[in-house]
Chain A
Amino acid sequence: MRGKPAYLGVDVGSVSTNLVLLDEDEKVLEALYLKTGGQPVKAVQEGLARLSEEAAGEVRVVGVGATGSGRQLTGVVVGADIVKNEITAHAVAALQRFPGVRTILEIGGQDSKIIIIRQGVVVDFAMNTVCAAGTGSFLDRQAARLGVAIEDFGALALQSEHPVRIAGRCAVFAESDMVHKQQMGHTTEDITRGLCQALVRNFLNNVAKGKEIQPPVAFQGGVAANVGMRQAFEEALAMEVNVPTYFGVMGAIGAALLAKEEMARRPRQTCFRGFEMSRTDFRTTSFECDGCPNHCEVIEIYLNAILAARWGGRCDRWDQLERSHLVAGGKQLLTSL
């Protein structure tokens, strides 16, 4: 057993895949932000390969947590000790960074959420339902349309003195309204700032509606990189908005913290498959169950040709099988790796 103990957190979202290594003192050793690109398994494998180059010799992973919309799949792929939803993961990470935090605004590629914390515990939360979805992706695309690099988008917005009012009910309206404003001759600065304000209005009206936003406020998720969005939030809320250093990988940090908590509560050997799994062959297949007219699409995940997991059915018909296969598969796994 070489290297210092570390906790791995993996957050697989629809747009980005993030991996974080934390040491025993909960300090970030490594943080990776990758594009998921529609291939979560590949993204996770690539991330592990890179972590392995950076840190494999120096650290010994003693706990793994998975989160994000791809948490179930990731859990199987990396061998997670705990699989948690992204709301809990984000709250745990924010609380570690700002112990007194009372409101968390989190905007990622596809989802946006607000988490209300009182006395160190989550008391309420909301996720986008009818709208305010895809804010990160939307900003990406509009930056491309305006011919601005997404990294410069926020800074450009800060230069504006006369922001343009843009209809923010939904992304489609915002886009057509933005194009209209462009065609009316407004400057790119004014449009970018107007767009940030529109998205903040949309978030506050659709996601945060009815929630009591109290300071201190933390703003995290990929969109927090955008200083224009941060400023628009500060204006709209009339309070300071804090962006943590690792704003983009807070979900992964939370997953790693949860893994640490879990291993302390129930000490055991980690299920981590090792950095070498970046070279393992993962294959997913699916079939349509014909047990009833639901025709569920059942997904099977094979690890080196052994069935490692199966899900997707609405009834327990395939779950039952999953267990027996998993037991058999688990034994073979131990001998094959």
Chain B
Amino acid sequence: MKVTFPHMGTLWVAAKAILEDLDLEVVVPPRPTTRTMNLGVKHSPEFACLPLKLCVGNYLEAFERGADAIVMAGGIGPCRFGYYAQVEREILNDLGYSYRMIVLEPPKGHLSDLVNEIKGFTGQRSLRRIYQAALFGYRKLGALDAIERRTNQVRVDEAARGGTGHAVQKATALIDRAASMDDLKTALARGLEVLDQVPRKESGDPLKIGLVGEVYMLLEPYVNLDIERQLGEMGVLVERHVYLTDWVRSHLTADFLRFDHEREMRQAAKPYLGHWVGGHGVETIGNSVLYARRGFDGVIQVAPLTCMPEIVARSLLPVVSQDHGIPFLSLFLDEHAGEAGLRTRLEAFVDLLERRREQRRRRASTLSLEVAGHSR
């Protein structure tokens, strides 16, 4: 059995580590490219969202490399994603591929369901083995998150445009190669060092933009047209509301783990959206409020076209924006998204934030002058 899985940002590094740790043969699909997209679009329903299309593309390309089993996350609730593993299985069946599909569903509080599914395809490995493999993978995710967070900080100040790109690749490769927990520690330290060595300049006080929206669109640079890099190169400090560890924590381990940030986010969303709408709808609202409270200059929502939870969030964002004084830009993307159009909108949004900040500063300074004048 040769196992594959769809891409989502750098998730592949951890997925590969876990599966290899369980002595499975792994086929990492090629990084998504135009070819992946074309293959996926050709064989998927037109109004399915972009993540489904790209996953199908991933499987078809992985098949060419000899894969015959797929590990895929499932889901529950109003987001269509929960159904995608089944739809993908049917598409592959219709195309005549004989793939075995292993679906990891969030266990709704019963860890045993998840363990049983994993046991089913690992050939009755001991629980301890599975736990260790999963923990190692999770640690890798943590390391990748640390790299990604640092990347955005470094990129804002990079002395030469594009200087960070190479360092990120190198750092990611280091994490990928780490074979033990000790290795991983060294790799992370080394990776951060590589990033810190990127020549930097004084950037002053960069604009801060929070990225909210649907997780796949945020994590996979191919589908969001590399939005983090584009913004970083415009001199904007970017932070994303979800990183890989967050997704795994909230998606695959569901309700039995609650975190402070999560509670805070839900509280923040409550006045606008008090109940679950599936996907990351509540997260989009809650985190927009939190970004505003933290003094961010703006929020950008990224979502696949036709995504229901994000459409719900989108219709609430104007009120959030009004109440908290934080401008937002919504980007709904699919395979027809044009790079030129996106670029123009991003540039215009950054200009908007820049000029708004300038005006506020001018006002603040005239105000303090007036106050000074009165007290005299």
State the A residues within 8 Å of B (CB).
69, 84-88, 119-125, 127, 129, 210, 292-295, 314-316, 319-320, 323
Besides the known contacts A123-B356, A292-B33, 8 further A-B residue pairs in the complex with CB atoms under 8 A apart: A85-B343, A85-B344, A85-B347, A121-B359, A125-B349, A125-B352, A295-B34, A323-B160
B300-327 near A? 1/0 per residue, CB < 8 Å: 0000000000000000001000000001
Residues of A contacting B30 in the complex (Cβ-Cβ under 8 angstroms): 293
Residues of A contacting B351 in the complex (Cβ-Cβ under 8 angstroms): 84-85, 87-88, 122
Picked from B33, B35, B162, B343, the residue with its CB within 8 Å of the CB of A319 is B162
B328 to chain A, nearest CB (A): 9
The 6 closest A-B pairs by CB, nearest first: A316-B162, A87-B348, A85-B347, A293-B33, A88-B351, A316-B165
Cross-chain pairs A/B with CB under 8 angstroms, 28 sampled:
A84-B347, A85-B351, A86-B344, A87-B344, A87-B345, A87-B348, A88-B347, A88-B348, A88-B352, A119-B359, A121-B359, A123-B356, A124-B327, A124-B352, A125-B348, A125-B349, A125-B352, A127-B341, A127-B345, A129-B341, A210-B318, A293-B30, A293-B35, A295-B34, A314-B226, A316-B162, A323-B160, A323-B161
Q: How far apart sit A87 and B341, CA to CA, in the bound complex (Å)?
A: 11
B189-229 near A? 1/0 per residue, CB < 8 Å: 00000000000000000000000000000000000001000
Residues of B contacting A85 in the complex (Cβ-Cβ under 8 angstroms): 343-344, 347-348, 351
A326 to chain B, nearest CB (A): 11
CB <8 Å contact, B34 and A293: yes
At the interface, yes or no: B166 with Cβ under 8 Å from chain A? yes
Q: How far apart sit A320 and B332, CA to CA, in the bound complex (Å)?
A: 31
At the interface, yes or no: B31 with Cβ under 8 Å from chain A? yes
At the interface, yes or no: B275 with Cβ under 8 Å from chain A? no
A129 to chain B, nearest CB (A): 8
Q: How far apart sit A293 and B29, CA to CA, in the bound complex (Å)?
A: 13
Chain A residue with the shortest CB-CB distance to B37:
A294
At the interface, yes or no: B340 with Cβ under 8 Å from chain A? yes
Chain A residue with the shortest CB-CB distance to B225:
A314
B356 to chain A, nearest CB (A): 5
B146 to chain A, nearest CB (A): 22
B37 to chain A, nearest CB (A): 10
CB <8 Å contact, A123 and B348: no
Residues of A contacting B294 in the complex (Cβ-Cβ under 8 angstroms): none
CB <8 Å contact, A69 and B340: yes
Q: How far apart sit A87 and B343, CA to CA, in the bound complex (Å)?
A: 12
Chain A residue with the shortest CB-CB distance to B30:
A293
Chain A residue with the shortest CB-CB distance to B359:
A121
Residues of B contacting A129 in the complex (Cβ-Cβ under 8 angstroms): 332, 341
Residues of A contacting B332 in the complex (Cβ-Cβ under 8 angstroms): 129
Q: How far apart sit A120 and B355, CA to CA, in the bound complex (Å)?
A: 10
B22-55 near A? 1/0 per residue, CB < 8 Å: 0000000011011110000000000000000000
A318 to chain B, nearest CB (A): 9
Residues of B contacting A122 in the complex (Cβ-Cβ under 8 angstroms): 348, 351-352, 355-356
Q: How large is the interface on B (under 10, 10 to 19, 20 to 34, 35 or more residues)?
A: 20 to 34
A217 to chain B, nearest CB (A): 19
Picked from B34, B160, B343, B356, the residue with its CB within 8 Å of the CB of A121 is B356
Chain B residue with the shortest CB-CB distance to A128:
B341
B48 to chain A, nearest CB (A): 17
Picked from A119, A125, A292, the residue with its CB within 8 Å of the CB of B31 is A292
Q: How far apart sit A61 and B352, CA to CA, in the bound complex (Å)?
A: 28
Residues of A contacting B35 in the complex (Cβ-Cβ under 8 angstroms): 293
Chain A residue with the shortest CB-CB distance to B61:
A293
**CB-CB contacts below 8 Å: B130-170 with A:** 160-162, 165-166
Q: How far apart sit A127 and B355, CA to CA, in the bound complex (Å)?
A: 19
B285 to chain A, nearest CB (A): 16
Residues of A contacting B161 in the complex (Cβ-Cβ under 8 angstroms): 316, 319, 323
Q: How far apart sit A121 and B355, CA to CA, in the bound complex (Å)?
A: 7
Q: How far apart sit A292 and B34, CA to CA, in the bound complex (Å)?
A: 10
Q: How far apart sit A320 and B161, CA to CA, in the bound complex (Å)?
A: 8
Q: How far apart sit A124 and B322, CA to CA, in the bound complex (Å)?
A: 11
Residues of A contacting B344 in the complex (Cβ-Cβ under 8 angstroms): 69, 85-87, 127
B36 to chain A, nearest CB (A): 8
**CB-CB contacts below 8 Å: B334-376 with A:** 340-341, 343-345, 347-349, 351-352, 355-356, 359
CB <8 Å contact, B165 and A294: no
Residues of B contacting A84 in the complex (Cβ-Cβ under 8 angstroms): 347, 351
Chain A residue with the shortest CB-CB distance to B221:
A314
Q: How far apart sit A206 and B303, CA to CA, in the bound complex (Å)?
A: 19
Q: How far apart sit A316 and B233, CA to CA, in the bound complex (Å)?
A: 11
Chain A residue with the shortest CB-CB distance to B166:
A316
Q: How far apart sit A292 and B226, CA to CA, in the bound complex (Å)?
A: 16
Chain A residue with the shortest CB-CB distance to B330:
A126
Residues of A contacting B340 in the complex (Cβ-Cβ under 8 angstroms): 69
B203 to chain A, nearest CB (A): 16
Q: How far apart sit A86 and B359, CA to CA, in the bound complex (Å)?
A: 21
CB <8 Å contact, B166 and A294: no
Residues of A contacting B34 in the complex (Cβ-Cβ under 8 angstroms): 293-295
Residues of B contacting A323 in the complex (Cβ-Cβ under 8 angstroms): 160-161
A333 to chain B, nearest CB (A): 20
Residues of B contacting A319 in the complex (Cβ-Cβ under 8 angstroms): 161-162
B31 to chain A, nearest CB (A): 7
Chain B residue with the shortest CB-CB distance to A90:
B348
Q: When A69-B340, A84-B347 are in contact, do A315 and B352 touch as well, CB less than 8 Å?
A: no
Residues of B contacting A295 in the complex (Cβ-Cβ under 8 angstroms): 34
Q: How far apart sit A221 and B351, CA to CA, in the bound complex (Å)?
A: 21
Q: How far apart sit A124 and B345, CA to CA, in the bound complex (Å)?
A: 11
Residues of A contacting B341 in the complex (Cβ-Cβ under 8 angstroms): 127, 129
Picked from A87, A119, A124, A320, the residue with its CB within 8 Å of the CB of B162 is A320
Q: How far apart sit A316 and B348, CA to CA, in the bound complex (Å)?
A: 23
